């Protein structure tokens, strides 16, 4: 194991390398990933013991599972920012976050970081000539109330909707 100095950075790097050894903590495809009652507590106890062997516990230290969640969330946020900025003038080549390189292995387990598409609910409108009078009115609303949901890019949705003379609310 790498010899880290007795500081927060060393503890954090050790925590990252130890978590990497236990896919049940981060890989949804792992058999024990959903076993939160038995397997995960045992793993976290092992990790905590290994960290405390190398670094004596500090008085106000964050527990290992909470520290890992914080690292994981921060990595995801930095990665999302990089993806968002990659097409703009401001290009961030390497983030300044000190654990970026240590956390690169987690990239393949990150939730999908894609842009969300516009989501609308379509309701029937009485002014639509194509609609049957027995059906409720159609309109677009960002709130799901009744009817069905449509996930489209807004310009495409407007192209589809305007020929039918549907009101947008």
* Sequence spans of domains, the chain: 8-109, 119-168
Please check the confidence at residue 98 and state whether its pLDDT lies above 80: yes
Tokens of 67: 């520290």
Q: For residue range 20-52, what is the model confidence (pLDDT) as tens digits?
A: 999 999 999 999 999 999 999 999 999 999 999
Predicted pLDDT at 4: 41
pTM for this model (two decimals): 0.62
- What percent of the chain is predicted at pLDDT more than 70? 59
Predicted pLDDT at 96: 87
Length of the chain: 169
Residue 9 Cα distances to 5, 77, 101, 127, angstroms: 8, 20, 13, 65
Across the chain, mean pLDDT equals 76
């Amino acid at each position: 194991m790498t010899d880290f100095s007795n500081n927060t950075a060393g503890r954090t790097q050790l925590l990252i390398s130890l978590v990497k050894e236990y896919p049940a903590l981060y890989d949804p495809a792992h058999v024990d990933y959903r076993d939160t009652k038995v397997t995960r507590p045992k793993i976290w106890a092992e990790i905590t013991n290994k960290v405390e062997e190398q670094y004596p516990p500090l008085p106000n230290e964050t527990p290992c599972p909470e520290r890992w969640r914080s690292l994981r969330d921060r990595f995801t946020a930095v990665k999302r920012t990089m993806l968002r900025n990659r097409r703009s003038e401001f290009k961030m080549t390497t983030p300044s976050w000190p654990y970026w390189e240590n956390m690169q292995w987690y990239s393949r387990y990150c939730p999908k970081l894609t842009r969300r598409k516009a989501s609308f609910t379509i309701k029937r409108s009485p002014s639509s000539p194509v609609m049957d009078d027995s059906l409720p009115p159609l309109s677009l609303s960002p709130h799901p109330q009744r009817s069905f949901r449509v996930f489209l890019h807004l310009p495409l949705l407007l192209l589809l909707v305007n020929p039918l003379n549907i009101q947008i609310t």
